[in-house]
C-alpha cells in the first residue's frame, strides 16, 4: 500500500487531501495564474500518524500516481503542496501530484564524464529555443555535438511562481517546472544528451527560497534568523536542522540518481551559513562519492563561490569540503576588463595584462590581496603544484555576467569583433575548464536581461525597484535597466538560431569550432598543470604570449599591427589574415590572436 509522509514538527495534526481522479482543489484567496471553480466534495482526507523526529506517516490506498494531493496542518483548511512534491501541474500555490518514477531510460551504458577535459555549455531552457521546453532543446543537441562541448549545464529547473524566471526563485526543490515539460521532460532531455555523448550538469540552489510560494516554514524550521543577499537563511545548523540538511542532501542525490544527472553546479555556496562540525558541502561530497561508487560512474560537484578559498576543492581528509571544482570569476573579470576597458564595480582591480597573467598561472587574482570593491583583503592562494587547472570553471560570458548588466547586453555589444576573437582564443587555450554561455559561439545578437513573471503586483514592484537600486550602487546608468517584469525582457532573450548562418555570426561559430577542435586534438592546449603555464607580456605595447607546452598563444590587443619577440613557426590558427613572419619575429594585425607550434 502506498505510504504518504511529511516532515511537519510544527503541527499537532496533519491530514492529506487527495483529489478525485481528474479533479483539482480550488484555493480561494491565493494568487494563482489560472483560478479554478470550487468543486463540491473535491477530495478525501486521511489523518497521518505522528512518527519519530517530527515526521507524519500513513498508508493510503488512494495515493496513486496521477492523483493530486496536499497537506492540511492542524485545523487550517488550506491545502498546502508537499515540500517534497515531484510535480506541480497547477503551479506552486496549488496541489502536488503523485508521481511514478517509471521512465524508460535508454542510456544504461552511459559511462559518465569527470571534470577533467570538459567544456561546459550553459543554457536556460526557457530561452534556449522559441518553444522553451526540454523537448525543443533536444532538437538542438546536434549543434552542441558539432560545436565540441562535453557538458550541457542547465540553469535551475525547480518549480517557481509565474511562467518564466531565471530559475533562482525556486520554492519546491524536488518539482520540475511544468512549463518546461515536467520531470519526464527533463529525463527525456538527459537521456538524449547521454545518447549524443553529452554529460549533463544541473544548476541547483540551496542558499535561499523564492519569495512567492514558499510554504515550507508552515511545516517546520526550514529557515533561521538572518538574511543573505537573496532571502532568509536556510537552517543548516540551528534547532531541528538535521531534517533540513537531509532535505537538501536527498534532493541532490535524487538529481544524480533518479534523473541520471552527471554534475551539480551549487549556486552561491558562500551564502550557506553553516557552523556545524561537518559543513553541509563536506557532507554532500561524502554522500556523492558513495553514490558515485555505487553507480559506477563519475559524479561531479562544482561550487559557485566568491570566497576565492581553496577549501572548496581541498580533500576532506585535509579539512576541505572535497568538491571537484568551482567557478573562478577572477578569470572572467581579467578577460572582460582587458577586452572591454570597463572598470566599474568589481572590475576595478582588473584590466591589466599583469592581472591576466596572474590568473592564467595562479587561478585567483585576489589570493590575499586587497580588493577595492570589497574594501578589504580577499581570498587565499592556490597550491598550484597540487591543484590542476581543470578544477576552475572559467568563462568570457555566463548568465550572471550578461544578465546582471543593466541592459543584459552580451560581450559582442561591448567589444569589437577582433577583441571578441582574442578573448575566445585565450579562454579556449587556458588550463581551466571553459564554459560557454548559450549563443556565445555565434556572437548572438539577442540580449539576456534579468526577467521574472511574478503574478503578485507588490512583488513585481519590489523586484523592479530592487534592480534599479542594485545597478545604481554598482555605478550603472539606471536609465538602461530593463524592467524584469516586462514580458519583452523574456521574449527578447530567446536565441535566434537563424543568426548562425548570417555574416558576422557564421565566422565566429567557425572560430569557436576550430578552437575547440584544436583543444581536443592537441593536449598541450588543454594541459591543466598550472606550473607549466608561463606568460610574457608588455603592458605598454599591449601584447601577450601564453606558453602552452609545444605551443605559443599570441595576442595583440593594440589597435595597430606589431611584432612579437617569438620565433616564427608553424601557425595552427589565426583570428585574422595579415599575420606574417619577419625573420625571427611574428607580426600580428591589430586586435588579433594566433596559435603557433614552436
Task: Report the catalytic residues.
Answer: 267, 304
Q: Are 288 and 321 in contact (CB under 8 A)?
A: no
How is residue 476 written as a grid cell? 550603472
555: left (phi over 0), alpha (psi -120 to 50) or beta: beta
Q: What are the Cα distances from residue 504, in Å, to 398, 444, 509, 514, 589?
A: 21, 10, 9, 16, 19
Q: Are 220 and 243 in contact (CB under 8 A)?
A: yes
Pairing state between β 580-582 and 551-556:
unpaired
Instruction: Please provide the distance, in angstroms rounded to a whole number, between the alpha carbons at the two ends of the chain.
Output: 71
- Angle value at C-alpha 116, between 173 and 528, nearest 5 degrees: 130
User: Any residues with CB less than 8 A from the CB of 388 and at least 6 apart, and which?
Assistant: 116, 431, 528, 529, 530
Q: Are 281 and 312 in contact (CB under 8 A)?
A: yes
Q: Report CA Rg, the chain.
A: 25
Q: At what angle do helices 417-428 and 329-340 cross, to 10 degrees?
A: 150
- Determine the longest span between alpha carbons in the chain, in angstroms: 90
The one-character DSSP state at 245 is H
Q: Which residues pair with 57 in a beta bridge?
A: 5, 49
Helix (H) or strand (E) holding 362: helix 353-362
Q: Is 115 exposed, middle or buried (0-12, 13-18, 19+ CB in 10 A)?
A: buried
Q: Is 511 exposed, middle or buried (0-12, 13-18, 19+ CB in 10 A)?
A: buried
Q: Are 24 and 36 in contact (CB under 8 A)?
A: yes
Nearest to 380 by CA among 315, 327, 306: 306
Separation between Cα atoms, residue 557 and residue 579, nearest integer Å: 14
Amino acid at each position: 500500500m502506498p505510504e504518504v509522509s511529511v516532515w511537519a514538527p510544527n503541527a499537532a495534526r496533519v491530514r492529506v487531501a487527495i483529489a478525485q481522479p481528474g479533479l483539482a482543489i480550488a484555493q480561494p484567496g491565493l494568487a494563482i495564474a489560472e483560478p479554478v471553480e470550487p468543486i463540491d466534495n473535491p477530495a478525501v482526507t486521511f489523518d497521518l500518524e505522528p512518527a519519530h523526529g517530527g515526521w507524519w506517516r500513513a498508508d493510503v490506498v488512494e495515493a496513486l500516481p496521477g492523483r493530486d494531493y496536499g497537506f492540511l496542518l492542524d485545523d487550517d483548511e488550506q491545502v498546502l503542496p508537499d515540500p517534497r512534491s515531484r510535480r506541480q501541474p497547477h503551479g506552486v500555490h496549488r496541489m502536488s501530484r503523485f508521481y511514478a518514477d517509471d521512465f524508460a531510460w535508454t542510456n544504461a551504458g552511459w559511462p559518465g564524464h569527470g571534470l577533467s577535459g570538459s567544456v561546459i555549455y550553459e543554457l536556460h531552457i526557457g530561452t534556449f529555443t522559441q518553444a522553451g521546453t526540454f523537448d525543443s532543446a533536444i532538437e538542438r543537441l546536434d549543434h552542441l555535438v558539432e560545436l565540441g562541448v562535453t557538458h550541457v549545464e542547465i540553469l535551475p529547473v525547480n518549480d517557481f511562481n509565474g511562467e518564466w524566471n531565471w530559475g533562482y526563485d525556486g520554492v519546491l526543490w524536488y518539482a520540475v517546472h511544468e512549463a518546461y515539460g515536467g520531470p519526464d521532460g527533463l529525463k527525456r532531455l538527459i537521456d538524449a544528451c547521454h545518447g549524443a555523448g553529452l554529460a549533463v550538469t544541473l544548476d541547483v540552489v540551496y542558499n535561499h527560497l523564492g519569495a512567492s510560494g514558499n510554504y515550507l516554514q508552515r511545516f517546520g524550521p526550514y529557515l533561521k534568523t538572518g538574511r543573505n543577499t537573496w532571502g532568509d537563511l536556510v537552517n543548516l545548523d540551528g534547532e531541528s536542522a538535521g531534517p533540513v540538511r537531509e532535505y537538501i542532501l536527498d534532493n541532490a542525490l535524487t538529481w544524480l540518481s533518479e534523473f541520471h544527472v552527471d554534475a551539480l553546479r551549487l549556486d552561491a555556496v558562500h551564502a550557506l551559513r553553516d557552523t556545524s562540525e561537518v559543513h553541509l558541502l563536506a557532507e554532500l561530497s561524502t554522500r556523492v562519492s558513495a553514490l558515485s561508487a555505487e553507480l559506477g560512474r563519475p559524479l561531479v560537484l562544482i561550487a559557485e563561490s566568491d570566497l576565492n578559498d581553496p577549501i572548496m576543492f581541498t580533500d576532506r581528509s585535509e579539512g576541505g569540503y572535497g568538491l571537484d571544482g568551482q567557478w573562478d570569476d577572477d578569470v572572467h573579470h581579467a578577460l572582460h576588463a582587458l577586452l572591454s576597458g570597463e572598470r566599474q564595480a568589481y572590475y576595478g582591480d582588473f584590466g591589466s595584462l599583469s592581472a591576466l597573467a596572474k590568473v592564467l598561472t595562479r587561478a585567483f587574482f585576489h589570493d590575499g590581496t586587497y580588493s577595492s570593491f570589497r574594501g578589504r583583503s580577499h581570498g587565499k592562494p592556490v597550491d598550484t603544484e597540487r591543484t590542476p587547472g581543470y578544477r576552475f570553471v572559467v568563462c568570457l560570458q555566463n548568465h550572471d555576467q550578461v544578465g546582471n548588466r543593466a541592459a543584459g547586453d552580451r560581450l559582442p555589444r561591448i567589444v569589437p569583433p577582433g577583441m571578441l576573437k582574442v578573448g575566445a582564443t585565450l579562454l579556449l587555450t587556458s588550463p581551466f575548464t571553459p564554459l560557454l554561455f548559450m549563443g556565445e559561439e555565434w556572437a548572438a545578437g539577442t540580449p539576456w536581461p534579468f526577467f521574472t513573471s511574478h503574478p503578485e503586483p507588490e512583488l513585481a514592484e519590489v523586484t523592479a525597484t530592487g534592480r534599479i537600486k542594485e545597478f545604481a550602487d554598482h555605478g550603472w546608468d539606471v536609465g538602461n535597466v530593463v524592467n524584469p517584469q516586462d514580458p519583452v525582457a523574456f521574449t527578447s532573450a530567446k536565441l535566434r538560431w537563424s543568426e548562425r548562418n548570417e555574416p558576422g555570426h557564421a565566422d565566429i561559430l567557425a572560430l569557436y569550432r576550430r578552437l575547440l577542435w584544436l583543444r581536443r586534438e592537441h593536449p598541450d592546449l588543454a594541459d591543466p598543470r598550472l606550473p607549466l603555464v608561463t606568460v610574457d607580456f608588455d603592458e605598454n605595447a599591449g601584447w601577450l604570449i601564453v606558453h602552452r607546452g609545444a605551443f605559443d598563444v599570441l595576442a595583440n590587443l593594440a589597435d595597430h599591427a606589431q611584432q612579437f619577440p617569438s620565433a616564427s613557426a608553424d601557425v595552427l590558427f589565426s583570428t585574422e589574415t595579415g599575420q606574417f613572419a619577419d625573420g625571427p619575429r611574428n607580426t600580428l594585425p591589430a586586435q588579433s590572436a594566433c596559435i603557433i607550434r614552436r
